[in-house]
């Protein structure tokens, strides 16, 4: 006789049959056929080397061995059901912790939180800001909203939301505004450009798309994070570069102007979460994000010159 545990499907079939005292009812509850339950019962008896049921007229009667296994399996499955229910409820009650950059959080997400809470009242979203140090593989974070280029990490489930579009922006109060607003993109080669160490590739990427030499760019004041860079641009300190969603509200309100429009890059705004920790709430959030990002009112259309 084997000392290994019997197959779980066989034990489930037995527990249901013994509890309901009917193979047919057990099959209905388990969403399988009568024959499938009968086969699992036979597998279990062969594994244990004992008979669990005996004929009782047209029905079945538990043997002494069957009675012993019924009591133990009933208790075990009831405990399993209870623990699984607790775990499911615990997951449903826990907040969904989303990491994103401070600039994305402050300039795009927070203005939309009221709408998100109204549209997804059961999500219980908790936002965690960081710059390059957020990783959903680590405890404490369920997912990450990030601008990044494919290919995606093999251990991540990735919801692509929208292509990244970047462009230079400046305030109407900037000293060089009148000179630059109608100038070609090449005029920025003579401008001390505001830049950020968190996105050093942004200006060179834009220059290549405009058929300009990245080496010809001149950099002025630098900032550690994109949020500070954009605040400096709004304050009229110079020309900055940013993803379109992060400055769309400022452009519409007239705080910033984008004379050269926005150009698509190879990057995507995407929602990442580990495949090992799949969470149905991520799909709901991704769908909501796609809808918000697709709204014309959230992304003013600007034409390149």
Residues 261 and 168 in one domain: yes
- Is residue 95 within 8 Å of 279, Cβ to Cβ? no
Work out how many domains the chain is built from and give that number: 3
Domain end position, chosen among 88, 112, 145? 88
Could you tell me if 15 and 150 lie in one domain? no
Tell me if residue 77 falls in helix, strand or coil: helix
Shared domain check, 71 and 33:
yes
Statement to judge: residues 195 and 146 lie in one domain: no
Q: What is the distance, to the nearest Å, from the Cα of residue 9 to the centroid of all Cα atoms in its chain? A: 34
Q: How far is CA 73 from the centre of its chain?
A: 39
Whether residue 252 lies inside any domain: the answer is yes
Domain that holds residue 16: 8-88
Residues 147 and 284 in one domain: yes
User: Is residue 300 included in any domain, yes or no?
Assistant: no
Q: Do the domain assignments include residue 282? A: yes
The C-alpha atoms of residue 229 and residue 106 are separated, in whole angstroms, by 13
In a domain, 228, yes or no: yes
Domain membership of residue 305 (yes or no) is no
Q: Same domain, yes or no, for 187 and 55?
A: no
119-143 pLDDT per residue, tens: 999 899 999 988 766 788 888 889 9
Asked if residue 102 and residue 59 are part of one domain, the reply reads no
> pLDDT (tens digit, 9 = 90+) per residue, 29-68?
888 999 999 999 999 999 999 999 888 777 788 999 989 9
The answer to whether residue 178 is domain-embedded is yes
Q: Is the pTM higher than 0.75?
A: no
Within a domain: 56: yes
User: Which backbone phi and psi does 176 adopt, to 5 degrees?
Assistant: -95, 10
Residue 1 reports pLDDT greater than 90: no
Tell me, what's the pLDDT at 86? Answer: 57
Q: Cα angle vertex 151, ends 148, 152, to 5°?
A: 70
Q: What is the CATH number of the domain that holds 101?
A: 3.40.190.10
Average pLDDT over residues 251-280: 92
**Residue 303 predicted with pLDDT over 50:** no
278 and 134 belong to one structural domain: yes
Q: Are residues 171 and 261 in the same domain?
A: yes
Say if residue 251's pLDDT is above 60: yes
Query: Is 257 in the same domain as 229?
Result: yes
Q: What local confidence, expressed as pLDDT, does residue 302 receive? A: 36
Q: Which of 27, 56, 88 is the last residue of a domain?
A: 88
Residues 207 and 157 in one domain: no
Q: Are residues 230 and 257 in the same domain?
A: yes
Give me the CATH number covering residue 71.
1.10.10.10
Most confident range, picked from 39-48, 73-82, 177-186: 177-186
**Does residue 2 sit within a domain?**
no
**Mean pLDDT for the stretch of residues 70-94:** 73
Say how far apart CA 297 and CA 109 lie, in whole Å.
Answer: 15
Q: Where is average pLDDT lowest: 18-22, 119-123, 163-167, 202-206? A: 18-22
The answer to which of 20-34, 107-121, 246-260 has the lowest mean pLDDT is: 20-34
Give the CA diameter of the chain.
100
pLDDT at position 298 is 40
pLDDT band at 93 (very low <50, low <70, confident <90, very high): low
């Amino acid at each position: 006789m084997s000392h290994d545990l019997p197959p779980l499907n066989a034990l489930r079939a037995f527990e249901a049959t013994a509890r309901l005292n009917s193979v047919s009812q057990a099959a209905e509850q388990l969403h399988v056929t009568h024959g499938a339950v009968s086969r699992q019962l036979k597998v279990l008896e062969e594994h244990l080397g004992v008979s669990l049921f005996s004929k009782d007229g047209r029905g079945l009667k538990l043997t002494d061995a069957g009675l012993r296994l019924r009591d133990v399996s009933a208790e075990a499955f009831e405990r399993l059901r209870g623990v699984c229910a607790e775990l499911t409820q615990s997951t449903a009650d826990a907040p969904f912790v989303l990491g994103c950059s401070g600039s994305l959080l402050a300039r795009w997400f927070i203005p939309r939180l009221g709408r998100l809470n109204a549209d997804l009242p059961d999500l219980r979203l908790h936002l965690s800001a960081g710059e390059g140090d957020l990783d959903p593989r680590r405890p404490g974070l369920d997912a990450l909203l990030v601008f990044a280029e494919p290919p995606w990490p093999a251990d991540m489930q990735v919801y692509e939301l929208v292509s990244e579009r970047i462009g230079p922006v400046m305030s109407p109060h900037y000293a060089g505004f009148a000179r630059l607003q109608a100038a070609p993109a090449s005029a920025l080669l003579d401008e001390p450009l505001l830049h950020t160490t968190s996105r050093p590739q942004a200006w060179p990427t834009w220059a290549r798309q405009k058929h300009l030499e990245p080496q010809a760019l001149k950099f002025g004041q630098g900032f550690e994070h994109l949020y500070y860079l954009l605040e400096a641009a709004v304050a009229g300190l110079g020309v900055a570069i940013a993803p379109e969603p992060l400055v769309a509200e400022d452009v519409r309100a007239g705080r910033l102007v984008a004379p050269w429009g926005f150009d698509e890059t190879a990057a995507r705004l995407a929602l990442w979460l580990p495949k090992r920790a799949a969470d149905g709430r991520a799909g709901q959030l991704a769908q909501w994000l796609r809808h918000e990002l697709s709204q014309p009112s959230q992304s003013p259309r600007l034409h390149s010159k």
